Structure 1
């Protein structure tokens, strides 16, 4: 070992050391971002004496980057230069974790018990086979009678064969009686072994491709010391998932149950770590975009050929006039902002996240909101109304993007994707159809069976009767939306009449969208008539 370490020291441009101290690290805490993670490792070792040493940490992932590593030392220890080694590494001891070592011992003990039970079963089987062989031999005896045999000797020989046959059969039966418990013992021992092996297989492993971190350390004296390694890695993420339950019994209430899915493909397992989830996004844009001056000019008119040559020819002065935008800063720089005003979530218990495994789901907390609930109907397209809940994010923290399962009075009614909702922002969400609110939009016919749209040379009219009926036992506040055409030409006039009149026109800035609001009692019905007339000069065509 010392010869190998001497070769390693001779091949690395580091200060001279009194000793090389191999050590392993343990991941104690992880901060996971929506894209990437920060790992905190602790390396505990014993300095044999005061002075300079080389600390060789032999279990970092093989794709570790030195620029994304930060070091901190305990009292009495000074850190110097460090580098990473990907080859000519010293051999490591058994990389099993403590949990794996314990589980491996249980597997070995279960294997011994299973082997012992199998041997006991085989011994009983041998007894059965020996007794049955003796019975077959005695039963097949056809030897000649000895010379001078008398009736007494013949009788004695027959008695002996009968007694021996009976004894052999009894031995066989007794041995067979021992078979069921022995077979059961084998089965149980094999089940225990299978469970122990499965438990061992599911444990996070410390065996992986690795690189070594070589650190120059100066100890004030002999004794135990600790180096903390902070390392930023990719291939890890978390995303929220939500259950959103809307209730109206006893007052409208919206409950948001939050959970997270954590996934990592870092190449090593996180075993029993303190987990923090940060909403910081260090891999995304960290500064506002840049605007560049746009120079426009005019010149004499040119023919099509000359214009094409200037546009597609070798003259690229217009494209070279503005400098190219600077490259974005390294993503890791923005990671330091997570301790500022960035929202983080700390999981209260140690967590194990295996590399390459399925998403690990962890529960967070619940938030309650006071929504405004109404039934929204679009009779032009739908034949029923839908529950819509509008709420303001009063939690003081952003709600991050995630999948939402929608519940109404505890019953699943759908799912959707939730975009980022900033603190204080208002959001509308749909919670399924209300089958008891039936919506109908009819265009009445006139004499001759004509439909509700009537067109002449320079005039077109459309009339509709909209009905909303509540067939249920619950009253609903209803918001009904419909539309009429709009014009941006003075010569195309549009006259709209509605009864009752809408409470809002050009809803959310959309021209021609109308809205009515009313309360619909149980068993109630509301009718709206809507008509619009378009007129334009003769000689023009409606488009």
Structure 2
């Protein structure tokens, strides 16, 4: 049997396809292979790699004999970011130690000068008692004071430097702890067994699926006049253990599944309960594992430049899924932070109107009704809504298919004034064999103070009885409602010119039997 030569391929990430709940990563590299059977390893792959998603292809005069997925154990994390942080930590630790040593030297010098002053004091005292000159004493004390002042100033300077170095060390340790939680020393490795007749350069492409990644949609909705601009963004997060550099990044709505299967229903049986029959434990059955190896048939040598024979891979995509490529590369580190990429800017026509429910509140809401006239099916997501240049709030956009209509709330507009007033209320007491009556009438005034004609939807309601001894009879509804439902909802569609006002009158009667105690009444 021919012994395989082991080589390591430098295959950086060149493409990432991000799905809603995972990602497919593609690596690519070139190397020159000697003649014979070779095993080429791609190292430093994430632990979460799904073995049965591995796919190998390439170009060159080689035959794929097989693919193995193995675990590589490292003494330290091979990640460049972790290695750099570890170097920074060692440098900060050395700096802190050097400053501590320098401070210890200054402390010893401080102690020495203090003891020198104490010892010299007795000598000078005896000299003065014997009548010696005091000039030497003054020079000595001045020199000692200068030296002590310099030493203590140096110690203060070293203390400040020690504090700064300790803070830098703590910051590096925090960053290292955060990154190390996501980057462990152990890594996966994929080995590709290849056969070549003569020395040749080949290109190998490796792709695999990893969990811990995904994307969601967010939107900026800007409404001006009768036009709506929808800016669609994809927000990408990932903590797969490997950083994605700026590369070919695509966002897909597909949900890949390794073992996709059309759902089927088994028969649903009902039967009499039978006590279980004791069964002797069975002997354990022998089993074999492929160990992540993908078998490939041996074959002849392909012509130079031909594609590799592909190893079977299982990455499923829905037939109706869409894939989006942002206009510029986006680097996404494995820090779990959100990274936003622009997907599209869509211009849509919109219809603006107002809606109010004075029975609840006299606030008037500006509403935009928009039809998705584009070709994109927009995933559900959060939208920041702007009316002209003003931010008016946030909204949750549902899944929005082409041709579908969506309503967006654009905030309150105080230029449409609404007042609702109870103008009449009567009540009668029940006598023997009679019923109790309550009659109310409301007046709702609507005024348009905008500079243009406003289409206003006004909502009101009649109570709905839930007992046969309670009846509700409408008395007044002027102007006639545009729509009335069986549940008492009344709708008026009004068009008010600039500066115009109108009034809606609504009255009704509620009759109850003498013994009925009414609940749910409000005025």
* TM value normalised by structure 2: 0.71
In structure 1, stretches of 5+ residues that fail to align are 1-14, 146-150, 295-309, 316-330, 536-543
Q: CA deviation at 1:181?
A: 4.5
For 1:293 and 1:133, locate their aligned partners in 2 and report how far apart those are by CA, in whole Å: 99
For 1:59 and 1:358, locate their aligned partners in 2 and report how far apart those are by CA, in whole Å: 22
Residues 276-315 of structure 1, C-alpha deviations (whole Å, 9 max, x = no match): 2112233599898779999xxxxxxxxxxxxxxx987579
Q: CA deviation at 1:373?
A: 0.9
- What residue number does 2:468 align with? none
For 2:437 and 2:325, locate their aligned partners in 1 and report how far apart those are by CA, in whole Å: 61
Instruction: Select which of 66, 74, 79 maps to 2:59.
Output: 74
Quick check: 1:232 aligned with 2:209?
Answer: yes
- What residue number does 2:295 align with? none
For 2:455 and 2:151, locate their aligned partners in 1 and report how far apart those are by CA, in whole Å: 83
Range with greater deviation from structure 2 (174-183 or 428-437): 174-183
SS of the residue aligned with 1:370?
A: strand
For 2:137 and 2:325, locate their aligned partners in 1 and report how far apart those are by CA, in whole Å: 86
- What residue number does 2:317 align with? 335
For 1:155 and 1:493, locate their aligned partners in 2 and report how far apart those are by CA, in whole Å: 124
Does the aligned pair in 2 maintain the 1:29–1:274 contact within 8 Å? yes
Does the aligned pair in 2 maintain the 1:343–1:397 contact within 8 Å? no
For 2:327 and 2:143, locate their aligned partners in 1 and report how far apart those are by CA, in whole Å: 72
Does the aligned pair in 2 maintain the 1:281–1:335 contact within 8 Å? yes
Instruction: Select which of 435, 445, 460 maps to 2:424.
Output: 445
- What residue number does 2:41 align with? 56
Quick check: 1:266 aligned with 2:262?
Answer: no
For 1:367 and 1:198, locate their aligned partners in 2 and report how far apart those are by CA, in whole Å: 43
Say which structure is richer in helix.
Answer: 1
- What residue number does 2:332 align with? 352
Residues 474-506 of structure 1, C-alpha deviations (whole Å, 9 max, x = no match): 55321223456899xxxx998887432344566
SS of the residue aligned with 2:317?
A: helix
- What residue number does 1:529 align with? 505
Matches within 5 A, 1:92-241: 92=74, 95-141=77-123, 154-156=130-132, 160=136, 163-190=139-166, 207-222=184-199, 225-241=202-218
- What residue number does 2:492 align with? 516
Counterparts in 2 of 1:354 and 1:341: CA distance versus 1, 3 Å: closer
For 1:154 and 1:442, locate their aligned partners in 2 and report how far apart those are by CA, in whole Å: 112
SS of the residue aligned with 1:334?
A: coil
- What residue number does 1:302 align with? none
Counterparts in 2 of 1:428 and 1:78: CA distance versus 1, 3 Å: same
Q: CA deviation at 1:32?
A: 1.0
Q: CA deviation at 1:51?
A: 1.1
- What residue number does 2:304 align with? none
- What residue number does 2:230 align with? 256
Counterparts in 2 of 1:224 and 1:128: CA distance versus 1, 3 Å: farther
- What residue number does 2:18 align with? 32
In structure 2, stretches of 5+ residues that fail to align are 275-312, 466-470, 512-523
Instruction: Select which of 250, 253, 257 maps to 1:279.
Output: 253
For 2:142 and 2:188, locate their aligned partners in 1 and report how far apart those are by CA, in whole Å: 74
Q: CA deviation at 1:358?
A: 4.2
Does the aligned pair in 2 maintain the 1:469–1:523 contact within 8 Å? no
Counterparts in 2 of 1:17 and 1:107: CA distance versus 1, 3 Å: same
Q: CA deviation at 1:179?
A: 4.2
Q: CA deviation at 1:383?
A: 2.5
* TM value normalised by structure 1: 0.69
Instruction: Select which of 374, 398, 418 maps to 2:353.
Output: 374
Q: CA deviation at 1:430?
A: 1.7
Matches within 5 A, 1:360-439: 360-439=339-418
Q: CA deviation at 1:254?
A: 2.9
Does the aligned pair in 1 maintain the 2:424–2:441 contact within 8 Å? no
SS of the residue aligned with 2:325?
A: strand
